[in-house]
Structure 1
Amino acid sequence: MSMIQETVEVDVPLRTAYDQWAQFEEFPQFMDGVEQVTRIDERHSHWRTRISGVQREFDTEIVDRQPGERIAWQTVGGDVRQKGEVSFARLDDGRCEVRLAMDYDPQGMAHHAADTMDVIDRRVRGDLERFKSFVEERGTG
C-alpha cells in the first residue's frame, strides 16, 4: 500500500466544508478522474472512475464519521483497494483546514507507474485545490 497525505486551507467555515465533502455524489465536479458516485445507503457508495484511461468501479464503506470533524472509509469491493480519512480543523470563524490521508494499493501497470512518478499525489493535491475553489465559490449559502 502507498500513503498520500495532503492538506488545504479553505476560506469557508468548517461546517460548510464538512457538509460539502459529505455530498459524495458531487465529487465528479472537483475530483479528476471520478466519473460518478452513487450513494447506496448512509454508509455505502458505488464509484466509477477513469484514471490514465483505465475505468474502475468499486464500493466504499464509511467506517467512522464524526460530524464536523472527520469521515473515514475503506473499499469493500471492486477494482480498487484503499482506505483513508478526511479531517477538518477550524482555523477561525471563516476558515478551516481539510486534511486527506489515504492508503491505496495501485492496481495494474499504469497505476504502478503513476504511483512511482508521484502522479497520484499530484492528482490528490489538485483534487483538494479544486475542492477549495468549488466550496469557496458556493460560499456558506
Structure 2
Amino acid sequence: MSTVKESVDVAVPLHTAYNQWTQFEEFPRFMEGVDSVTRLDDRHIHWRTSIDGVAREYDTEIVDQEPEELIAWRSVDGETDRKEKVTFRRLDPGHTRVTLAVDLRPERPGEKAGEARAAVDHRVKGDLRRFKEYAEARGRGPSGPG
C-alpha cells in the first residue's frame, strides 16, 4: 500500500470543519471525480466516481469516528482497495487544520504504485484546497460561522 497525506488550514472553527466534512453527500462539491455519495446507514456509504474516464461504483464502511477529532473509512467492495482517514485539529477558535491520509493499492492490473500515488497526491491536494474554499464560504454564509 502507498500512503498520501496532506493538510490544509481552514479559517473556520473546529466543529464547523468537522461538520462540513462529515456531510458525505456534499463531497461532489469539492472532490474531483466524485459524482455522487449516498449514505446507506450510519456506517456505510455508496460512491459513484468518474476518474480518468473510468466510471466506478463502490461502498465504504466507516471504521472509526471521534466527533470533532477524526473520521476513517475503508472500501468494502469494488475494484478499489483504499482506506481514508481525516483528522481535525483546532489551531485557535476560528481556524482548524484538516489532514487527509489515503492508503491505497493500485486499482488496475499492471498499474505502478508510483503512478497511482502521484495521481492520488494530485487529487488530494486539489480536494483539500477546494474543501477549504467550500468550508470557508459556507462558514461566512448568512448564518455566520458555525
TM-score normalised by length of structure 1: 0.93
Displacement of 1:109 after TM fit?
6.0
Counterparts in 2 of 1:15 and 1:111: CA distance versus 1, 3 Å = farther
Q: In structure 1, what is the Cα distance between the partners aligned to 2:56 and 2:105?
A: 13
Counterparts in 2 of 1:102 and 1:73: CA distance versus 1, 3 Å = same
Q: In structure 1, what is the Cα distance between the partners aligned to 2:50 and 2:93?
A: 37
Note the 1:1-141 alignment, pairs <5 A: 1-108=1-108, 112=112, 114-115=115-116, 118-139=118-139, 140-141=145-146
Asked if 2 retains the 8 angstrom alpha-carbon contact of 1:6 and 1:101, the reply is yes
Displacement of 1:79 after TM fit?
2.3
C-alpha RMSD of matched pairs (Å) = 1.6
Displacement of 1:119 after TM fit?
2.3
Unaligned runs of 5+ in 1: none
Q: Where do 4+ consecutive residues of structure 1 move more than 3 Å?
A: 109-114
TM-score normalised by length of structure 2: 0.90
Question: Aligned AA for 2:55?
Answer: Q
Displacement of 1:110 after TM fit?
9.2
- The count of corresponding residues between Structure 1 and Structure 2 is 140
Displacement of 1:80 after TM fit?
1.1
- Secondary structure at the counterpart of residue 41 of structure 1: coil
Q: In structure 2, what is the Cα distance between the partners aligned to 1:34 and 1:131?
A: 13
**Residues 53-93 of structure 1, C-alpha deviations (whole Å, 9 max, x = no match):** 11111100001100000001111111211012100000000
Question: Aligned AA for 2:116?
Answer: D
Which residue of structure 1 aligns with residue 142 of structure 2?
none
Asked if 2 retains the 8 angstrom alpha-carbon contact of 1:57 and 1:80, the reply is no
Unaligned runs of 5+ in 2: 140-144
Q: In structure 2, what is the Cα distance between the partners aligned to 1:135 and 1:75?
A: 25
**Residues 87-135 of structure 1, C-alpha deviations (whole Å, 9 max, x = no match):** 000000000100011101121269647426x122011100000000000
Asked if 2 retains the 8 angstrom alpha-carbon contact of 1:37 and 1:46, the reply is yes
Displacement of 1:15 after TM fit?
0.4
Q: In structure 1, what is the Cα distance between the partners aligned to 2:91 and 2:4?
A: 23
Identical residues among aligned pairs (%): 54
Question: Aligned AA for 2:57?
Answer: E
